[in-house]
């Protein structure tokens, strides 16, 4: 399995920007699709963005499309999420995750992800 560690969370005002990073170690993670999920208090974990193994395909939740950008640097085993025009509704714990199958399609269901980071808190004030 792969170990994932997120960083970059914090407090930001509405309309501001924040960047998250997720560093992977362990197995050769470069061949696996990855994604970002988030979970707000009292709500279920939801898909935010996903990217295929070489970064050529991305998917976004409708709620973040046009505001968030997912990318990856396989040389440094790092996944990124650039969050712009942040809203209070974006407040949540953000998790990065790796899909179970290498070279697979970018999926949105958490059931196909088998490695998760510990999460990083993002708080957007109004």
For residue 81, how many C-alpha atoms fall within 13 Å in the half-sphere facing its CB? 32
Q: What is the pLDDT of residues 9-63, one digit of tens each?
A: 999 999 999 999 999 998 778 899 999 999 999 999 999 999 999 999 999 999 9
- Specify the pLDDT at position 82: 98
Of 10, 33, 12, the closest CA to residue 21 belongs to: 10
CA dihedral 118, 39, 30, 101 (to 10 degrees): 110
């Amino acid at each position: 399995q792969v170990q994932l560690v997120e960083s970059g969370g914090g407090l930001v005002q509405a309309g501001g920007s924040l960047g998250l990073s997720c560093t992977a170690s362990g197995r050769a993670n470069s061949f696996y699709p990855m994604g970002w999920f988030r979970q707000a208090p009292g709500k279920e974990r939801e898909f935010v963005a996903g990217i295929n193994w070489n970064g050529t395909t991305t998917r976004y939740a409708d709620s973040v499309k046009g505001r968030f950008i997912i990318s990856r640097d396989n040389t440094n085993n790092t996944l990124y999420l650039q969050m712009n025009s942040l809203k209070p509704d974006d407040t949540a714990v953000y998790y990065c995750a790796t899909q179970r199958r290498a070279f697979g399609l970018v999926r949105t269901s958490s059931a196909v992800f088998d490695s998760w980071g510990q999460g990083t808190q993002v708080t957007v004030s109004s």
